[in-house]
Structure 1
Amino acid sequence: MAPDEEQKLAKRARATALVIAFTMMFWLGAQWLGGRLGLAPRYVFLFDFAALAAFLWALVNVYQIWRSRQKG
């Protein structure tokens, strides 16, 4: 694999890792804040679904990065 392709994959992997970390912190904070403020369950589920969507995006990216590295 060419060095520039390797750098692109590394950059994409770092971005995916940041999305995973930020999503986890956001989700934990939203759960804590929702319990503290007594938010309705429908809002808490909204945070859950947003976190699931971000984790699904990250999972797809991790799979694509893995497949790209397998080819190279």
Structure 2
Amino acid sequence: MAPDKDSRLAKKARLVSLVIAGTMVLWIGAQWVGSTLGLTTRYAVLFDLLALAAFVWALIVIYQIWRARQSS
């Protein structure tokens, strides 16, 4: 595999790891703030759906990285 391609895949992998970690921290924080402030469950579901969207995006990018590494 070319060094340029390796560095691009490594950059993508770092971005995915930051998105996953950041999503978990923000999701846990949103759940805590929601329960502390007594927000309705509609907001909890909204936070859950936003976190789910971030995880689906991360899964798609991880699959792309995996496919790129398999093809070379």
- Shorter-chain TM band: over 0.9
TM-score by length of 1: 0.98
SS at structure 2 position matched to 1:39:
coil
Distance 2:28 2:43 in 1: 14
Amino acid at match of 2:69: R
Q: What does residue 64 of structure 1 align with?
A: 64
Q: Deviations along 1:35-67, whole A, 9 cap, x unmatched?
A: 110001101110000000000000000011011
Aligned positions, number: 72
Q: Is there any run of 5+ residues in structure 2 with no aligned partner, and where?
A: none
Q: Deviations along 1:18-38, whole A, 9 cap, x unmatched?
A: 000000000000011111100
Alignment root-mean-square deviation, CA: 0.5
Counterparts in 2 of 1:2-13, with a 5 A limit? 2-13=2-13
Amino acid at match of 1:58: A
Counterparts in 2 of 1:44-59, with a 5 A limit? 44-59=44-59
Q: Is there any run of 5+ residues in structure 1 with no aligned partner, and where?
A: none
